[in-house]
Chain A
Amino acid sequence: MLNVQHVAGGYSNEHILKDISFEVQKGELFGILGPNGSGKTTLLKMISGILPIVKGDIFISGKRLQEYNSKQLAQIVAVLSQHSSQSFSYTVKETVSLGRYAHQTGWFQTWEEKDEKIVQRVMKQTGITSLKNKAIQELSGGEKQRVFLAQALAQEPEILLLDEPTNHLDLSYQKELLDLLKNWTAETGLTVVSIFHDLNLAGLYCDRLLLLENGTININHIPNEVLREERIRDVYHTDIQKHPHPRVPAPQMVLIPNERQEKEIIQIDESLLRVTNEFIELKSPVPLRTMSSGVVGSGTGWHHTFVNRHVGKDYNCSDHRKEMATFLKANGFEPSETVGMMTAVFLKDVTCKHLEGNGFSLFVVVTAGVGNAIDASKSELHTFEQVPGTINTWIFVNGELTEEAFIQSIMTATEAKAKALHDLNIMDSVTGTIATGTSTDSILIAATQAGDRLEYAGTITNLGKLIGKAVYECTLEGIRKSQKRKVI
């Protein structure tokens, strides 16, 4: 559809772009990225024929750009630029109707039924039908943007060039506009070439991205390849981190602000723990990076309150997440900042351990009961039944953990727990074999992310050794306590 070959050019004598080559297929949503001054807008202006091509060639539908006359070009390529000046108060309808200019031929350039239909359609698609008699000077920035989008669409283009289309738009319209464009590319085969400032939006919606750096192509590839941490850091000269999108397979970049030099060193230990009959609570003075399987606050995140709540064995609720959130609120906790777990174990039987390592320390809190102990290797023999967790393990690390270390911590803790059950000879009542855990165990790893950086937490690393020891001992003690209670 669009083929750019060895193009160089720019304003007057200065060549902003040097030797640019790329191709865009029909129906693609193609993003152009690059820091300020990298030549994005220049490139777009050359494709739309505003700036002369000094070297190289641009082919549109296989024909050289220069061979099109203005009207023919406008029938194929429409442009939505960043700024549009309006000196006179045309109505929205008049403005959109101008988009039909290129399709009207002959001396009298009559307005036909077809033109009217198209104008009505694009106004509907962009949601501006209700504004059609308003003067465009009265509109907000977002509304104006949609009016000019409608004008571009009224041209019935095959290629739509956009210069930061989401500028001036608030969040919902950004998403709406890009969803709309994405649909059109799929349904009508419209080709969209767009400049983006927002890397995340580009990564989310584009089929391919072109990254410009100082007027040359850094890379032209799928978003996941283009949006690499090191590459973006180099090109944009800023600290960022890549993160997967929670719902779709698209890369997302997050900025890392410059941290203040003096960082308060905090220590998570027994002094922060509070045990009541209803719940065990640990409040951290700063948010902790967490990975957990709690009822609320599960997955990864940042939380500063941790609650292990006692519920009766007969606790049954159709929406236990909502019920838990209500409980937390009622007790003065903010659910979005809290990791909450449930247990049927008596909270007085909580066991905890604080261990010092080399440059870091560890605080482990366990509540354990083995009422429904299960051998994981034979669990298929069990019927599924969700009852509140019986071994809840909290591991607080006063140190900085990598993502790997978080996951390895979970593995190490789980292995230690299984070993504790083994050593106590806890049996799975259904299979008659030694249990490895209970059916609804929960775990939390939380780290202060300050102090020494701990890369790994496998069983023989410094961190892993302490986790293994602490979890094993706490679990052992916790189970013994609850067994004692049963005997009595």
Chain B
Amino acid sequence: MQRLSIQKFLNNKIAAYLLAGSFLLFSVLVGISIGTVSVPIFTIIEIIISKLFGSISMDQIDPMFSSIVLNIRLPRVILAGIVGASLAIAGAAFQGLLRNPLSDPYTLGVSSGASVGAVLTLFFQLSIPVIGSFTLPLLSILFSWATIFFVLAFARKIERSMRVETIILTGIIFSSFLGAFISLMIALTGDELRQIIGWLLGSVSMRGWEYIRIILPFFILGSIILILNAKELNAMSFGEERAHHLGVNVQKRKLIILTAGSILTGAAVAVSGTIGFVGLVIPHLSRLLWGPDHRHLLPLSILTGSGFLILADLISRTIISPTELPIGVITALIGAPVFALILLQRRRMERSG
């Protein structure tokens, strides 16, 4: 009974957004505040407000604080937030589309595909004229897009019904293959080695405002597309045939959703490397708390996903300070057990009928 009343409370959508929003706000403030130099939260708020509106003068604020906040911590937190949000909403969309609670950009191999694109860009020092710095995310997106279609086509070849496990297995096979490909390229590089490895382990450190500028347009574009397709995702999670009967143009919507998911994943991987399991854990948690309706699940995943990755980044840079752990380590430490848990739960459900 108590569970029921808790659920009812959480079902209240306004409460859901308030909760997720405050979680994000809390993460942002804590993320900026904590570090080798600790910045008081009140000071952070002052700095941000004065920067945004220019109404409060910065005179009485320590310039060291404002420099740490504006040039180091704030861009890092914002980048972590956007990457987390992108991966979480992409994961939620993949899960709904494939009716598969285990899929996320990482388990599907899409992240690895994006990495290949990014590594290729870095390896050959590619830069397409006109778009310049957007070459990196564009190639990542292109490769993640190609990967998801290869993975799905291959899984369909194995088994028409595309069981959950089949898709994941296919994703893992593609991941390993692409991973080997990346290792090969790293072995072939000479001086670029350090940059690639640092990037590959997944990190949002020392990226600065420039990377935010790179990912932001893709994040906005991808998220808007997915949120506009929330209803279709709801219908698709009952199966493609059912969705068709309900009036969804399945082929078109599927293409749109997979493309948006690739845009989000590709852009996130381009700026931060492969960070696993965010897209798995966050949608699962959000669904558990607030129900599977994608019209709310997607925005809520954005809020919780960004908060989650900001905190994960905070842990990764403070836990064995002054050394920094790659952020992917933290997310994997949390994500892999959750993955195992979902798998167990599914088995139990199947067995009980």
Contacts and interface: CB of A to CB of B under 8 A. Distances in A.
Contact of A88 (B164, B241, B249, B292): B292
A89 B249 contact: no
B246 interface: yes
A89 B246 contact: no
B239 A69 contact: no
A162 to B, nearest CB: 12
Contact of B247 (A50, A75, A91, A107): A75
Given A70-B248, A73-B247, A75-B247, A98 B238 contact: yes
Contact of B245 (A69, A81, A88, A95): A81
A88 B236 CA distance: 11
Secondary structure class of chain A's binding surface, majority of residues: mixed
A102 B242 CA distance: 13
Contacts of A48: 244-245
Nearest to B244: A50
B235 interface: yes
Interface string A64-101: 00000111111101110100111111110011001101
B73 to A, nearest CB: 37
B101 interface: yes
A281 B324 CA distance: 99
A449 B19 CA distance: 78
Nearest to B287: A88
A35 interface: no
A78 B241 CA distance: 12
A74 B291 CA distance: 26
A155 to B, nearest CB: 7
A84 B242 contact: yes
Most buried by B among A79, A84, A98: A98
Contacts of B238: 84-86, 95, 98
Contacts of A87: 99-101, 164, 237
B286 to A, nearest CB: 11
Q: Which 3 residue pairs across A and B have the least CB separation, nearest first?
A: A74-B247, A102-B247, A88-B292
Interface of B: 96, 99-101, 164, 228, 231, 234-235, 237-239, 241-242, 244-250, 287, 291-293, 349
Interface of A: 48-50, 69-75, 77-79, 81, 84-91, 94-95, 98-99, 101-102, 104, 107, 109, 137, 151-152, 155
23 contacts: A49-B244, A50-B244, A70-B244, A70-B248, A71-B249, A74-B247, A79-B245, A85-B238, A86-B238, A87-B99, A88-B237, A89-B292, A90-B237, A90-B292, A90-B293, A95-B238, A101-B235, A101-B246, A101-B248, A102-B247, A107-B228, A151-B246, A155-B247
